[in-house]
Structure 1
């Protein structure tokens, strides 16, 4: 193996620790504890495990958590109603809808029920637009975590050619937008792209987010390329054939231990940011009302 590993575990731990310090400060100064609400529909074991992991990390960071578990037969209307309740609850600062949801649910409609100020997972159209236009808002957590990882390993982005394999609205598309905002030249591709391997060979940075185990092969890569594997498939296998790619790449993320920890860390960081912003907004509103009365 010639590639250097881009491990997210230590950096993510530092991010969570800093988020915890900010959460503690907010409690001490205002009495408000940041709270992340997780919504799980059905009893998929993997999804339930992810939710528990996020709740445990929240607790360690001093962030409160609220769990909403709905039956697998839940309708879109029922799920939207639950999310709207959380959006209106002043004690909840961030909302995470664990996906995928059961087939009968309109996932986009459910995402759009999340109030923009509580969209700490960066899944709404409002959040995507804000991110794409460089306006205030929360970034999609996995793409945002990828950018943090690239920055931590001093990967030069300006002028680099980045190839994103995948077009998910919460992974591939926002990853490309964030890279573009960092002055990289971005090519979007997917599983049906013609001559995909030839395109990938031109990349300085490869982001694999296609959802297929071992999809990207070692001979697809330019020697010395930076390879970000954002996939997670059964058996702890990413979207990149790790053994082959590690012989060619300059930097590569492992699965697990690469992108995954960064995703959760950014989710918690953005939950604290949401709590700070919402608390500040309430204080400003109260102050304005008092000024008006006087």
Structure 2
């Protein structure tokens, strides 16, 4: 079939909100003529509409590689970079977009750049409340799909012991393919995202997920002290929970209490371990200590 005809059909589907069908038609056109920049750019638009922003970036980059002065693709890429929290790259492609440039993109990119520098500054100062405010402003400025900003938000909430909100912050963020993240952010950048993910999974009681995320981070950035520390912590906490559960099932409550305590040495606000230790303490008649553990768990995870 003629690839131009496939593109026209794809455009019709796209206009009518049938983005998956449009994507399939653009891909069919690309398979016939892979060096046509407009097919790549249109595919990028369909991927964007489906929320697959990193893949959309890769297609837009390919369109520009084929046709370096393709202004519409530059504008599309600038828009994507704003949403992904890459202000400087957005401004670069805005300048290349010429007559196709959208002034709104430049306004957003400049505003975002200010917010991002504030995020960096407040993180260095360990001013977690201000960092939290700045991440929210960055998201409002247009970076609604930037994993690194949602991760910063979650990190600030972890430091403030607002653990349930930290989990909610990551849930609100984008859920991109792992390999796409590594390609887009680079191994070290992706590892830093996974480190936050591991810590959030751990406090939320998803111990296996926490260990898996930390180990993946270590494979990407094996020389990082922070990554290796999080690997050790997640393993120690997961092991403590597993040992404690085995001892509890064997009705060895005092030893189970000690095992959960070892995990809490690594993660003092882990609501799952606190709750498990509270159960042991109530079995041992240590009701005041059990109440203390439950209170601490509920302070950090009110809905637990």
TM-score by length of 1: 0.27
TM-score by length of 2: 0.26
Could you say which structure has the larger radius of gyration? 2
Higher strand share: 1
- The higher relative CO (CA closer than 8 Å, separation ≥ 6) is in 1
